[in-house]
Structure 1
Amino acid sequence: MNAAQRHGRRIMMTDAERDAYLAEQRTCRVATVSAEGMPHVAALWFVWDGTSLWLYSLVRSLRWSQLRHTPKAAVVVDDGVEYGELRGVELRGEVSFVGEVPRTGLDCAELVVPERLFSAKYFGLDSLPHDERHAWIRLTPQAVRSWDFTKLSGPA
């Protein structure tokens, strides 16, 4: 194993650390690609349920139309200013669209947990107010990478 691999493993988050980190962070950056191959990155609110990242997206956004055409995304959630404070998670994979488009609040068993998590996280409410402009995108990652540079200051 080379030095870069040892360094990478040392700063990688455990599953529990990753789950806690994603629960506390508020904004992610979602990367999509157009049919012509042009990339697009946009900030968005999200929730993590321990298995999937749930994005509540405007259905009339460039992100939505690009994901409809090419349902693959990369998402980064990160924070920190100084080198030793940097933390983050990158999730990559195919997306799926869940529930009606746009979301009006019809019963959907798959959305019970993400809507409860989202409404509590962003609005301090027990249920999500639907504006009939957004709908749900689920990213169940095929690849996850994480880093926590605060671990570098601890014991080797």
Structure 2
Amino acid sequence: MTAAQRRGRRIMMTDEERDAFLAEARTCRVATVSPDGRPHVAPLWYVWQGGSLWLYSITRSRRWAQLGKGPRVAVVVDDGTEYGQLRGVELSGSVVPVGEAPRTGLPCPELTEVERLFAVKNFGLAEMVHDGRHAWLRLAPDTIVSWDFRKLGGAFRR
């Protein structure tokens, strides 16, 4: 269960708005921390499915290595160029790997719909192509915070 957003209620997205935004956007930024405290933030493609953020990560990346030592992440998906257009979602929690790593396409019922959505969204394909370098991480967020400055209707200061 995710924690309720307390601040910014005026500009927070409804669950439906959040789900539509996360389904549409392609790139998120994933923040991890090494055991010695060094932060790392990198962009990654994802799918929002079933209340979870599914991250498709290279298994030989710094991110994957750091998550093997501590599964906590913070992820941001955002959009907008002008202040009054800014909107986004921040999710945080612990990730768990799903399927084989690296992924070669062995049957994994939990990934069937996730991979179908990912292939359509990011490659325009009906089926996922596996390269033997990536694997899936599932984030069932502990907290979700959203904002949509368009709801202010221009009522803001620069």
TM-score (norm. length: structure 1): 0.93
Deviation of 1:81 (Å)? 1.0
Q: List structure 1 segments (4+ residues) > 2 angstroms apart after TM superposition.
A: none
Q: What is the DSSP-based 3-state SS (H/G/I as helix, E as strand, rest coil) of the residue aligned with 1:125?
A: coil
8 A Cα contact 1:19 1:50, kept in partner? no
- Matched residues, percent identical? 68
Partner in structure 2 of residue 26 of structure 1: 26
User: Following the alignment from structure 2 to structure 1, what is the Cα–Cα distance between the partners of residues 136 and 61?
Assistant: 13
1:48 and 1:154 map into 2 onto residues whose CA distance is 30
Rounded Cα–Cα distance in structure 1 between residues aligned with 2:7 and 2:140: 27
2:114 paired residue number:
114
Q: CA deviation at 1:50?
A: 3.7
CA RMSD between the two structures: 1.7
Q: Following the alignment from structure 2 to structure 1, what is the Cα–Cα distance between the partners of residues 93 and 82?
A: 29
- Residue 60 (1) aligns with residue 60 (2): yes
Name structure 2 gaps, 5 residues minimum.
none
SS at match of 1:93: strand
Cα separation, 1, equivalents of 2:109 and 2:24: 24
Higher relative helix content:
1
Query: Aligned runs of 1:36-75 on 2, under 5 Å?
Result: 36-75=36-75
Unmatched 5+ stretches in structure 1: none
Partner of 1:79: 79
- AA at the equivalent of 1:148: D
Q: How far did residue 126 of structure 1 move?
A: 1.2
TM-score normalised over the length of structure 2: 0.92
Which whole-Å deviations, capped at 9, do the CAs of 1:100-129 have from their partners, x for residues lacking one? 010000000110111011000011111100
